[in-house]
Chains A and B, each alone.
Chain A
């Protein structure tokens, strides 16, 4: 039982970590909270699932999901964030909520079914009284690689240095020659690809659908905030806690575990976010 809860918590955490890393990437490059990450994620995942549903290889479907996620997020950066962030990060974040609503309706118009199942590894193994799903192992492996890559990118490359400098002071970054506009666009494109990846990884548990991204993304935001938006590893640690609360809450309270997880996310915001 404990083993199963641990495995499920890790699998849930992997999804929130990937989406949380998307929020982290956008925030690191712009100082703006990517509140349309869930809609961007579903734009990619639904399109990828639709392609797979027509018989395309899974790899092609995943690639399409990542590309569409990156493109949608980059578009939002150009249309909403770039103009509004100059006024205030709040306007940009609120504008992203609005733009997310538009994107959601666009997805619903293009893909009229209520849900689009994404093909996932269905093999399971019984280990020590628990069930290990191949899809969960894939999720954990992917998030491990992504988090390690992001840690190296942020901590040990010139791109990471530019990101950190831009997050601290865009003006100072421009003074030393950083093209903050391109960097912000790249950060949002990377965030979109990561978000779509998170939705693909989550598809074994949450079937991609136009309106399925918002709750996922809000919990991912809570995970990122819990980690202080400080580093990729701190975001993963936050995701571990959020995933654990979700799984333990569902185990203890059944269906009531879902609102309990949202309440925990709200508590995280109240306690960890500062003026």
Chain B
């Protein structure tokens, strides 16, 4: 049993057997329920952070769900249905915020969440009903079992039921992050651009993760409201917003379950134990523990995440055939006519005003030039033009994929080697064959962020070729490679032999001359042919 599963089990059993000395009075029950809501918000926050959507708003979502559920219940809805409806609404609200903030980077989204929370707090201060204070008393929990409603749960039973549901939702969040959509979410969170180039949909993944995060947080908030018997706008405060954010930050280092446990512990300690011990502040117990958790997060921020033990270094198996697929839909040639290349993107100052060249299927074209000549910009411009179907970049016959091997990084930092290859392949066996051929089997379960640079570059080459491209644009694919260099050259030759048109940009002319069939040099804003074009293979 993995550590994460064991921790989830301990949390579940601990909740079921939790002693109840502090939950006999209404106010204390209220405080405990806030801690339970915090568990949902913390688990949701970690999910949202996985897609680099730092959630400054989940405590407000949880508080809003508690209020909505209470409102529905006081209007005659059965409590379980009211809770469910509130959780779904919370998920939708988070998804809407995800869509609205789709164009923002992570920092912008963090600020958007905080501003949304401030807007909710301001609304709560002036809205009729909310401004008057808490909504209550709410109908207590009733669970429909076997067609007959279970007797109304007393405070102790409700406390246990809600803690168990909170633990289950946390475990479900951990499971979702590890399996199912988890790898896609983490890939998008690691590198949205690379994920999009691998065929994933960053916005869809972000919105999906946020919807689940909002639902989990909303479930916790709604259940907690019915345990306490009251709902109010307290969750809209900046301190409430900080708790799930802190848990998410902590989860970057510890993983999800320990971070949620820490958030719950901080909530219970500050919300129930300290008040029971006579601490009234200021600051009050909950604020004190939130501050303590913040100190813990601040203290651990600079430290790298604990890495998992791996095996021996990557050792590509020499001589074995590469499992390169022929281009999807058949071999294709690339024709470039009049392509404008701008520095830093299409709108930037022109590096080349009208680039013309052809690459046949199976040919390796070397693109050489000094640092800063525009090699990376040319590859980016080719990829971008092919993606939007610009007339300057044509494939013959039409169709097929143009894939780029970026110069920096490799794989998805928060995904394992296996997950990265499977996301590209969509097929476990093919991904396993590439992993074996790349010599990465000993590191199958290691996060890409923890791989040596050479192994990451090799892995990324595998990721790109698993997409079965007609044209592959390699940006300095041999830079920084040591023992892996021969394997990378061999792999690219195998790709060309399978019919892939390869464009290889490198400032090292000798490296390119070794296996490029033709070369272009970028200098003075023009592309100058260095060798006569050989016959098309």
- The contact string, 1 if C-beta is below 8 Å from chain B, for chain A 239-269, is 0000000000000001110110111011001
Of the residues A95, A106, A262, A263, contact of B301 by C-beta under 8 Å: A95
Bound complex: CA A61 to CA B60 (Å): 36
Q: Say yes or no: B298 contacts A218, CB within 8 Å.
A: no
A211: shortest Cβ distance to chain B, in Å?
7
For A275, give the chain B residue with the smallest CB separation: B105
Residues of A within 8 A of B245 (CB): 94, 97-98
Bound complex: CA A225 to CA B119 (Å): 18
- The contact string, 1 if C-beta is below 8 Å from chain A, for chain B 94-109, is 0000001101111110
Of the residues A35, A102, A218, contact of B294 by C-beta under 8 Å: A102
B497 in contact (CB, < 8 A):
no
Of the residues B101, B115, B123, contact of A222 by C-beta under 8 Å: B115
B440 in contact (CB, < 8 A):
no
Of the residues B105, B107, B291, contact of A101 by C-beta under 8 Å: B291
B246 in contact (CB, < 8 A):
yes
Of the residues B108, B252, B302, contact of A83 by C-beta under 8 Å: B302
A254: shortest Cβ distance to chain B, in Å?
8
Given A91-B301, A218-B114, also A109-B282 (CB < 8 A): yes
Q: Say yes or no: B301 contacts A255, CB within 8 Å.
A: no
Bound complex: CA A97 to CA B45 (Å): 14
Given A97-B114, A275-B104, also A259-B126 (CB < 8 A): yes
Of the residues A33, A83, A106, A108, contact of B111 by C-beta under 8 Å: A33
Given A99-B298, A255-B126, also A108-B282 (CB < 8 A): yes
Residues of A within 8 A of B283 (CB): 105, 108-109
Of the residues B52, B56, B118, B288, contact of A97 by C-beta under 8 Å: B56
For A265, give the chain B residue with the smallest CB separation: B115
- The contact string, 1 if C-beta is below 8 Å from chain B, for chain A 72-90, is 0000000110011011011
Residues of A within 8 A of B111 (CB): 33, 35, 93, 218, 221, 225, 269, 273
| Of A215, A221, A222, most B-chain CB atoms within 10 Å | A215
Q: Say yes or no: A105 contacts B104, CB within 8 Å.
A: no
Bound complex: CA A89 to CA B110 (Å): 12
Residues of B within 8 A of A259 (CB): 119-120, 122-123, 126
Residues of B within 8 A of A108 (CB): 281-283, 287
A112 in contact (CB, < 8 A):
yes
A66: shortest Cβ distance to chain B, in Å?
24
Bound complex: CA A157 to CA B278 (Å): 57
Of the residues A94, A105, A262, contact of B119 by C-beta under 8 Å: A262
Q: In the complex, how many residue pairs between chain A and chain B have their CB atoms under 8 Å apart?
A: 154
Residues of B within 8 A of A162 (CB): none
- The contact string, 1 if C-beta is below 8 Å from chain B, for chain A 15-43, is 00000000000000000010100000000
A104 in contact (CB, < 8 A):
yes
Residues of B within 8 A of A83 (CB): 301-302
Q: Say yes or no: A215 contacts B291, CB within 8 Å.
A: no
Residues of A within 8 A of B294 (CB): 98-99, 101-102
For A76, give the chain B residue with the smallest CB separation: B298
Give residues of chain B (115-133) contacting chain A, Cβ–Cβ below 8 Å.
115-116, 118-123, 125-126
Residues of B within 8 A of A163 (CB): none
Residues of A within 8 A of B248 (CB): 94
Given A109-B282, A270-B101, also A218-B118 (CB < 8 A): yes
User: In terms of DSSP, what is the predominant structure of the interface of chain A?
Assistant: helix
B107: shortest Cβ distance to chain A, in Å?
5
Q: Say yes or no: A274 contacts B105, CB within 8 Å.
A: yes
Of the residues A33, A89, A98, A261, contact of B249 by C-beta under 8 Å: A98
B478: shortest Cβ distance to chain A, in Å?
24
Residues of A within 8 A of B100 (CB): 266, 270
B242 in contact (CB, < 8 A):
yes
A14 in contact (CB, < 8 A):
no
A214 in contact (CB, < 8 A):
yes
Q: Say yes or no: A269 contacts B107, CB within 8 Å.
A: no
Q: Say yes or no: B282 contacts A101, CB within 8 Å.
A: no
Q: Say yes or no: A214 contacts B238, CB within 8 Å.
A: yes
Bound complex: CA A30 to CA B146 (Å): 61
Residues of A within 8 A of B121 (CB): 215
- The contact string, 1 if C-beta is below 8 Å from chain A, for chain B 221-251, is 0000000000000000111001001101100
Q: Say yes or no: B118 contacts A215, CB within 8 Å.
A: yes
Given A95-B298, A101-B239, A270-B103, also A90-B110 (CB < 8 A): yes
Q: List 6 A-B contacts (CB under 8 A).
A: A90-B107, A101-B239, A269-B115, A274-B104, A274-B105, A275-B105
Known: A97-B242, A269-B101. 18 other contacts (CB 8 A): A33-B107, A33-B111, A35-B114, A86-B302, A90-B54, A90-B106, A101-B246, A101-B291, A104-B238, A104-B239, A104-B287, A108-B281, A214-B238, A256-B126, A262-B116, A269-B111, A270-B100, A270-B101
Closest 4 CB pairs of A and B: A83-B302, A262-B119, A273-B108, A255-B126
